[in-house]
Amino acid sequence: MKETVKAAILGGTGVYSIEGIKTVKQTVDTDYGSVEVMQGTGKWNDLYFISRHGTDHAVPPHMVNYRANIAALKKLEVEKVLAIYAVGSITELVPPGGFGLVSQFIDATQGRINTFYNGGDSGLKHTPMDEPYCRDMGNKIVSAAKKRGFPIAESGTYICTNGPRFETPAEIKMYRIWGADYVGMTGATETALAREAGLHIAAISYSINWAAGVEKDLAFLSDEEIRNTKNVLTDIALDVLFDEPGRCRCTN
Ligand code: HPA
């Protein structure tokens, strides 16, 4: 990869920093608001990190300023984004503690601002979503995970609910029929905006619970288990983000 290519990690629940990398904090002002962005130092100078819920998990999923986050990455000239999502497992594809690449999403949110193109001065654009995630980055994530002996589902469908409440068992039953494997509350909004902005985006789900009604109780992984998972994800991310680029269909 060219040295000038910049990459970012968008982290959520349990992923509030880049493990093992010293960062400096900066505030990036955008047309949609200001964003706190961490930037790697030294040889990681081209790596950025945004904690989408804030560093103290204070911003609920329906209140995240998704447009500002993506606009900040664009302003920093980031080209590749790896999004990491804590999810609930709907199918057995990825049980709690496991990883899965996201290859498709279903947007079940309501009332969120999920576009940069609102007509008028901002214009109108219908961004293709037939391949929402970067195929090249996805392939590399799978190889990197396998190299480390971490099983990862090579594809999976993420359904994005509005939150902040969890789902009812009836909703999860319906989402399973719709074809969803994982459920989270942020992925669809973020991906749609990233693609509108012309970013390459790949996403990894890491499951922290069975979704409502799949098992008797909604039991979550412990903080320590989530932390360990987070470290593995960071390793994988660093392997992938600065590799030579291959073929993908992300340009729009
Ligand atoms: N539902 C929605 N979002 C989630 C869940 C869930 O069960 N687990 C982690 N994020």
Q: State the pLDDT at residue 81.
A: 95
Those residues with Cβ within 8 angstroms of residue 170's Cβ, 6 or more apart along the chain or in another chain = 213
Q: State the pLDDT at residue 16.
A: 65
**Burial class (CB within 10 angstroms; exposed 0-12, middle 13-18, buried 19+) of 23:** middle
pLDDT in tens, 46-101: 999 999 987 666 899 999 999 999 999 999 999 999 999 999 999 999 999 888 99
Whether residue 94 has its Cβ less than 6 Å from ligand 1: no
d(CA 252, CA 239): 26
Query: From the alpha carbon of 212, which atom of ligand 1 is closest?
Result: 7
Query: Which tokens sit at 121?
Result: 């001065």
Query: Which tokens sit at 127?
Result: 């961004």
Domain positions in the chain are 7-241
How many whole angstroms from 116 Cα to the centroid of ligand 1? 26
**Residue written as token pair 């961490």:** 38
Those residues with Cβ within 8 angstroms of residue 131's Cβ, 6 or more apart along the chain or in another chain = 249, 250
Query: Which tokens sit at 32?
Result: 């949609």
Q: State the pLDDT at residue 1.
A: 47
Asked whether the predicted pLDDT for residue 32 surpasses 90, the reply is yes
DSSP structure class, residue 1: -
Whether residue 167 has its Cβ less than 6 Å from ligand 1: yes
d(CA 162, CA 107): 9
Q: Atom 2, ligand 1: which residue's CA is nearest?
A: 184
Global pTM value: 0.93
Whether residue 206 has its Cβ less than 6 Å from ligand 1: no
CATH code at 7-241: 3.40.50.1580
pLDDT in tens, 132-150: 999 999 999 999 888 888 8
Q: State the pLDDT at residue 60.
A: 92
d(CA 120, CA 123): 5
Coil vs helix vs strand at 149: coil
Q: Atom 9, ligand 1: which residue's CA is nearest?
A: 87
